[in-house]
Amino acid sequence: MLRILTDSTADLPAALAQRMQVEIIPLQVTFENGETYRDGLDLSPDEFYERLSECHKLPSTSQPSPEAFEKAFQDAQDAGDEVIAILLSSKISGTYQSAQIAASLVDHDKIYLIDGLSATLGNQLLVRLAAELRDEGRPAGEIVSILEEEKHKVRLLAVVDDLKYFRKGGRLSGAEAFAGTLLGIKPVVGMKDGHVSLVGKARGLPGVYVALFKQLDQDGGLDPDKRYLVGYTAHHRAMEPIQKYLIGNLHLPAAEVFHIGPVIGTHAGPGAAGIAYFAKGED
Query: For 105-147, how does the pLDDT look when each residue is reduced to its tens digit (9 = 90+)?
Result: 998 889 999 999 999 999 999 999 999 999 999 999 999 999 9
- 273 φ/ψ angles, rounded to the nearest 5 degrees: -155, 150
SS3 content of the chain, % helix, strand, coil (to 5): 45, 25, 30
Lowest mean pLDDT across 135-139, 152-156, 245-249, 268-272:
268-272
Does residue 211 register a pLDDT over 90? yes
Does residue 205 register a pLDDT over 90? no
Lowest mean pLDDT across 31-40, 159-168, 237-246:
159-168
Lowest mean pLDDT across 41-50, 159-168, 197-206:
159-168
pLDDT of 54: 84
> 3-state class of 281 per DSSP?
coil
DSSP 8-state class, residue 33: T
Q: Would you put residue 269 in left (φ > 0), alpha (ψ -120 to 50) or beta?
A: left
Does residue 171 register a pLDDT over 60? no
Lateral strand order in the sheet of 28-30 = 36-38, 28-30, 60-62
Packing angle of the helix pair 120-135, 140-150 (nearest 10 deg): 150
Answer for the pair 113, 100: CB distance below 8 angstroms, yes or no: yes
Answer for the pair 146, 119: CB distance below 8 angstroms, yes or no: no
pLDDT tier for residue 65 given thresholds of 50, 70 and 90: very high
d(CA 121, CA 126) in angstroms, rounded, equals 9
Q: What are the beta bridge partners of residue 155? A: 277
Does residue 221 register a pLDDT over 90? yes
Sign of CA dihedral 148, 259, 179, 32: negative
Does residue 79 register a pLDDT over 60? yes
Does residue 103 register a pLDDT over 50? yes
Contacts of residue 45, Cβ cutoff 8 Å, sequence gap at least 6: 233, 234, 259, 260, 261, 262, 265
Does residue 29 register a pLDDT over 80? yes
Answer for the pair 129, 154: CB distance below 8 angstroms, yes or no: no
From the list 107, 135, 113, 146, the residue with the least C-alpha distance to 6 is 113
Does residue 43 register a pLDDT over 90? no
pTM for the whole thing? 0.93
pLDDT of 283: 46
pLDDT tier for residue 174 given thresholds of 50, 70 and 90: low
